[in-house]
Amino acid sequence: MASPELRFCTTTLAARVEKRMCASKSSWLYRTQYGLLLACLLWMGTPFAQSPGISGAAKRDTGNIAVLLEINGTIGPAMYDYIQRGLSRAAGQQAKIVILQIDTPGGLDVSMRKIIQEIIASPVPVVSFIAPGGARAASAGTYILYASHIAAMAPATNMGAATPVKINTLASAPEIPDRTGDRTDTSGVKDAMTVKVINDAVAYIRGLAQMRGRNMDWAEQAVREGASLTAAEALDKNVIDLVADDVSDLLAKIDGRTVDLSSESIKLSTRSLTLEHFEQDWRTRLLAVIADPNIAYILMLIGFYGLVLEFTMPGTIIAGVVGAISLLLALFAFQVLPINYAGLMLILLGITFMLAEALLPGVGALGTGGIAAFVIGSIMLIDTEMPGYGISIPLIATFTLMSAGFFMLVFGMVLKSRKKPVITGSEELIHSTGEVLEGFEQEGWVRVHGERWRARTRTPLLPGQQIKVTAMRGLLLEVEPCQSDHSTHTTEN
């Protein structure tokens, strides 16, 4: 819950903003800004504004709790952020254990390794539990299970298939020697890079198995051959420590077990623990969507386009608002993605060159260089060697063509059209020429574009004399004699 002081301050300030908004005679834009500020202040004074935490009794009592974290879906930057914050919060709450309830098809190697590092360094014992029935811990989930202090599975679950991503989709299938020198069939291995990836994964999972005293040979088999096990088979092969029906059964069965932490060994006492669920908050859910490299890339470009339009054509407002929001969301995603900043700078340089081509049209050197820099930067933007985890090449090609067309064609045409003289509307009358219908010294009638207009002049005018419109005041034109026509009349006089 928010503190009474915070609620009082935010409520008081919100009341003042509401009063200001109601009294404001400004445009709809300022009213909207006041409304957004009011909503933020009211939100800050509610419990929803607090950081996601452990619900229920844990807020009243710390220490005698077991924290439950759920790994559902693909393991990526958002899941690592959630697990990292959950483990930190559990340590701060002095929880007895943390339960990772797993149901995942796998995920990114970099995120998986960061999660494992957090588990190994955790001062709170971590229990990985594949549940409920029908769940699985494939690929990255298997590594996390091996790294945990206690590994458990529910009936009708499975684990394994820990071969690195996309290795099994390559064309040929030669044999490579395993650690004993024997020939091992590794279906899909094609080149030296693939061999290195497999050997690195094997060494990693064997190290985890050795640290936790689990079956190293089957762990290697899961990586090299993509082997999988059911709950009963995993227990029989010493891959997991126990099988439990649900979380309550798990707490009962691990009671009295001894686990080794980084600094000490402790005996678990879990029968009387209160189970508290650390739920995924809006940050985790939002990050799960925008942390996709393709989504983050699209948001970044929308942000750039919107800001460019706002700066070049001030007053559009919508372009600037959408651009700013999109760019901030992209930056939020980039903080957890492996970004290559050289690639980001190349994208910005490419956009700059394409803008320069629109402003200073020449032989196309700037435009060509901009397109090349944009493509290279887009390919380099995500700094990872993981296959399948980068920006889609068709997406890069699509946005390259769109960017080139937007900046070099559409944007260039807009800039050129703004430099052309006005040919319609009342503004077009300025500098137009016409003819005096009746002679007058101050005000009279003239014909401009076939229409009769009331006109005012500082120089006496004669019938039929040619005039030029210098200004327009409502329906009254201010005119002066054309220079050539004035010279003719002077000579005739």
Average pLDDT over the chain, rounded to an integer? 78
What's the full length of the chain, in residues? 493
Evaluate if residue 285 carries a pLDDT over 90.
Answer: no
3-state secondary structure of 374: helix
Evaluate if residue 16 carries a pLDDT over 70.
Answer: no
Query: Can you tell me the mean pLDDT for 153-174?
Result: 68
pLDDT in tens, 64-107: 899 999 998 888 888 898 999 999 999 998 999 999 999 998 88
Distance, in Å, from the CA atom of 198 to the CA atom of 187, rounded to the nearest integer, reads: 11
pLDDT in tens, 322-339: 888 988 888 888 877 778
Please tell me the predicted confidence (pLDDT) of residue 165. Answer: 61
Query: Can you tell me the mean pLDDT for 201-215?
Result: 93
Q: Please state, in angstroms and as integers, the Cα–Cα distance from residue 206 to each residue in 164, 211, 219, following that order.
A: 15, 9, 6
The 8 Å CB, 24+ separation contacts for 373-376 are 373/346, 373/347, 373/349, 374/346, 374/347, 374/350, 374/400, 374/403, 375/350, 375/400, 376/343, 376/346
Task: Annotate 156-200 with DSSP letters as a single string.
Answer: T-EEE--PPTTGGGSS---EEE-TTS-EEE-TT--SHHHHHHHHH
Alpha carbon distance, N-terminus to C-terminus of the chain:
94
When pLDDT is cut at 50, 70 and 90, the band that residue 63 belongs to is low
> pTM for the full model?
0.61
Please tell me the predicted confidence (pLDDT) of residue 241. Answer: 94
Q: What sign for the dihedral angle of Cα 47, 48, 49, 52?
A: positive
